[in-house]
Amino acid sequence: MPGTSCNGVTIEPLSVRDFWICPARLFIRPAMEMQKDSPSLPFMKMHGLGNDFVVIDGRTQPVSISADIVRSMGDRRWGVGFDQLVLIEADREADARLRFWNADGSSSAACGNATRCVARHLMDESRSASLVLRTERGLLACEDAGRGWTRVNMGKPMFGWREIPLAEDLDTLSLPLDGNPVATGMGNPHCTFFVDDADAVDLESRGADVECHPLFPERTNVQFCSLFGPSCIRMRVWERGVGVTPASGSSSCAAVVASSRRGLTGRQATVRLDAGELEIDWKEDGVWMAGPTAHVFNATLWPDSLISGN
């Protein structure tokens, strides 16, 4: 296929795993041209059931990430677009350390689907069936779950109002909000509503209101769940700092923990999300989450164009 020209830039056909993105200057340049006149920021684009991430590998060369860079890269029109940005760093005890940012530039201590995506990438890289990743939650065990799925132990859930955190001492099993939701900490805060029909909820309106409710000093992720039986939950998600997303790993963990605490399901359940299913198992050593991952492409970004384009 011949190359195309736009704004004086010729775009030649490139491998899906080897191209440069220059969002503010339209928009894709051949790698050789980019190398001549600008710094580069290699990254990977991954997703877990449509919950998508930009992953930057900083194990061999330090990478400085600012809130401005995160917001610029996260813009789905001017940047790359993602729900979370993940930085992989070297660690003395674990196979790697992960740091997370939401698309609005805020940091997050946990991101379940991103952890699974990076775990799969690193297991493929090292040809191993298991590894350990460090996050602010501590050391998380990761393993091949078969079927191309990846399983991660997201750690033990937290129920104390200070741990989640809440703004005051309240019963976390029944918050004084319309719908009596459950509050859970999975390294990030969660507020879970149980409703008759999750698909009938005005997610954009309800989610935005609850995320910023004064009860949650660090804001919160919001889930609306309806039960399909003692081991199956239909869930829709509003992510803190992101908005509506087709899937969320830590939210799925929080939903099963909340439903089990309420006596609505057992400690093991399938969570049906907008884009597919995750399997959650709340064990003594933590909440295990299993599901598929996808490594979509590799690319290299021109950071200056992101900052000047917004």
Instruction: Please give the helix or strand (H or E) that residue 141 lies within, else none.
Output: strand 138-146
Residue 108 has pLDDT above 60, yes or no: yes
Contact 123, 92 (CB under 8 A): no
Beta bridge partners of 101: 85, 107
Q: Do domains 4-153+294-308 and 182-283 have the same CATH topology?
A: yes
Q: What is the C-alpha R_g of the chain?
A: 20
Asked if the 4-153+294-308 domain carries CATH number 3.10.310.10, the reply is yes
Which of 37-41, 182-186, 272-276, 282-286 has the weakest average pLDDT? 37-41
pLDDT tens readout for residues 22-43: 433 323 333 333 344 446 789 9
Beta bridge partners of 271: 233, 278
Q: In this structure, what token pair is assigned to residue 265?
A: 């399901």
Q: What are the residues whose beta carbons fall under 8 Å from the beta carbon of 79, sequence distance 6 or more?
A: 23, 72, 73, 306, 309
What is the percent of the chain with per-residue pLDDT over 90, rounded to a whole number? 77
Contact 108, 137 (CB under 8 A): no
Q: Where are the domains of the chain?
A: 4-153+294-308, 182-283
Contact 83, 48 (CB under 8 A): no
pLDDT tens readout for residues 187-239: 999 999 999 999 999 999 999 999 999 999 999 999 999 999 889 999 999 99
Amino acid at 26: L
pTM attached to this predicted model = 0.85
Fold of 182-283: Diaminopimelate Epimerase; Chain A, domain 1 (3.10.310)
